[in-house]
Amino acid sequence: ILGSKYAVHSIVGKGGMAIVYKGENIETKEVVAIKMLKEEYLENTEFVSMFEKEAEIAKVVRHKNMVNTFDVGKDDGCPYLVMEYVQGRTLKEYINMKGILPEDEAVDIAIQVCDAIKYAHDNKLVHRDIKSQNILLSAEGVVKVGDFGIAKMTTSATMTTGGSNVLGSVHYMSPEQARGEEVDHRSDIFSFGVLLYELFTGRLPFDGGDR
């Protein structure tokens, strides 16, 4: 039980620094997703700071094509986010299952992703990790862009590095992001271009390693 309000149930996903659980609001019985920092990073001030920054961003962004956040908190020193639970699969899983998508369906998905990216940019937010693994498709066909874990407000220094590591997904990131330089909304547009290629061909334009 978190904060005397949320019951944590099964794991639904794992990322580089966090685990997402299926949970429940004890008062309303609403099913939610609960994102918690991995235990091994709780003593790492850099990762805790990144997670808390995501929580700050989550408070100010809300859009029909984003995974919206309901609550943020900390329980016994562990920070957590309470988000809407999206019943469905990732866009990556869907593409792997279907192969090349019908043109109308690919266009519809692309438009919904665009709406979310535009909303983020209008609110001075650069996502910095647009990729099919971070996009959810609900059972009703609604696209939800998630995982703002490395997003930054453009009013602050928007660097791509986290310590000695470049943050982001190598197959989708722009050249300046790969070099660890400052990024702006154009880096998201580059990543979206890679996503478009994947949507219409069923594969990535670049399939090399991470060097």
Tell me the per-residue pLDDT of 125-143, one tens digit each, with 9 for 90 and over.
888 889 999 999 998 889 9
* Higher-pLDDT residue of 177, 135: 135
Structure tokens at 200: 């219409």
Residue 95: φ, ψ to 5°: -65, -40
Residue 79: φ, ψ to 5°: -75, 150
Q: Is residue 129 among the annotated active site residues?
A: yes
Least confident of 19-33, 34-48, 125-139, 142-156: 142-156
pLDDT in tens, 65-77: 998 888 888 888 7
Residue that is written with structure tokens 């990131």 in the block: 173
* Higher-pLDDT residue of 211, 147: 147
How would residue 175 be classed by pLDDT, with cut points 50, 70 and 90? confident
CA gap 136, 194 in Å, rounded: 17
- pLDDT exceeds cutoff 80 at 36: yes
> Would you list the DSSP string of the chain?
-BTTTEEEEEEEEE-SSEEEEEEEETTT--EEEEEEE-GGGTT-HHHHHHHHHHHHHHHH---TTB--EEEEEEETTEEEEEEE---EEEHHHHHHHHSSPPHHHHHHHHHHHHHHHHHHHHTTEE-S---GGGEEEETTS-EEE---TT-EETTS----EETTEE-S-TTT--HHHHTT----HHHHHHHHHHHHHHHHHSS-S------
Mean pLDDT of the chain: 84
Structure tokens at 175: 């050249």
Q: Which is the catalytic residue, given 71, 129, 147, 188?
A: 129
CA gap 162, 166 in Å, rounded: 6
Candidates 30, 79, 29; CA nearest to 58 is: 79
